[in-house]
Structure 1
């Protein structure tokens, strides 16, 4: 049987139409590419969103840091007892089982750590030792904050006419105000408006002075000062300044006043002068190797 010519033409034209239609379907663009994100604007918006979120987090952190920075001096000014705790560290227990609220259990006299109380305790200890050694030489050795206590104690002893045989000051400062201004902690706030009012005036109001620069004008016994040049806690220049004042003191006229510096190359810093192999010779030549009260 023969196909009719008309039907064959119709079939071929129909097939061509389908092929053309299929080619159009193949060339149809995906909506998810160009239609939904013309020019890549969605990607750019994502980047901007991420940058905005990061900037917000950084601003939040900055606000918190600034808030803490401002809050600390305000709290210290409003609550002077906090500053006293930072100076005396009486909340630190070493050994832990000792109750610092009951110093009388340890043979001490003061009810709470303070400049006056620490000086009274040192005087009590001095008298206790002196009664037991009789006429043997007795020296007082103070380190760092203890140098303020030591000069207070020796001043009181000299005022009574019973000076010790000598006073040794290791890493000393002139007074607590100048030491606080030079302390590493103060570096953070040194340029804060009202720094003196927030911090230094509060120390004086707390009756924390440790004025060794004043005490040396009332001391009448030999004085030996030891200080490392690389001391980052009590600057070397404060120890040198105290020595200059002691050397000019009328009360120390006729008494031996020495200053022994330790170069930075030795690395003794604030508390390692005791490692110096020369220290025994220094003390021996100065006759400081007898009974000693270390503060």
Structure 2
């Protein structure tokens, strides 16, 4: 895909990107496929997917208590537990505000580790990474932000998010629809959004503005971006997903570069 060449102009030391169709075929890729990149918050969708596997295995339930008092697994996944961004402090009653929280995902990892009696990093590897052949991905620390992966591996994950093999389609569909709609909150890097819609570990595009995806992205688009300069989105209406990895801290360069890149990808897909 010619639009992938746009990453060559990004002001980053290294970048890689790929587009994968809903049938799992790769429409195009550019950049080093096997170079490891730090994922920052793109780690969260991987952690959330492990939680979905645990849900189907019966190890956890969405509405069982987890995190601060009154919070559940569902609240932790949807960033509505009330926990602060990066400290174990409760700032709101569960279900009342959308408070994006690394601490919430760390509480989720701890809860899953206790429920499965396996360290979370090991459970992620056994439940998600190994079945998908993601040998170049690891989680050396926090399930909120410390993942390391490659373009090749995240392309496999983007395919899984369109044609699931590890969870039932109904489970994935529920995870990529708005959970507890109508809640406002801050989308990191883009300011206050009303509403600030999320699914179970996945951000939902809806009508947010400004946003890191493109103006042509459908409201059903879901995914995540990270402060290390990478993102993953799936647009069900376009029947495609995109992964982009970079090794520069998120900032104005990404806010400027990402939306036109996504729009160019979508235009090329529509053109056939």
| Coarse TM-score class (shorter-chain normalised) | under 0.3
Structure with more of its chain in helix, by fraction: 1
Tell me the TM-score normalised to structure 2 length: 0.24
Return the structure number with greater relative CO, CA threshold 8 A, min gap 6: 2
Structure with more of its chain in strand, by fraction: 2
Question: Highest Rg: 1 or 2?
Answer: 1
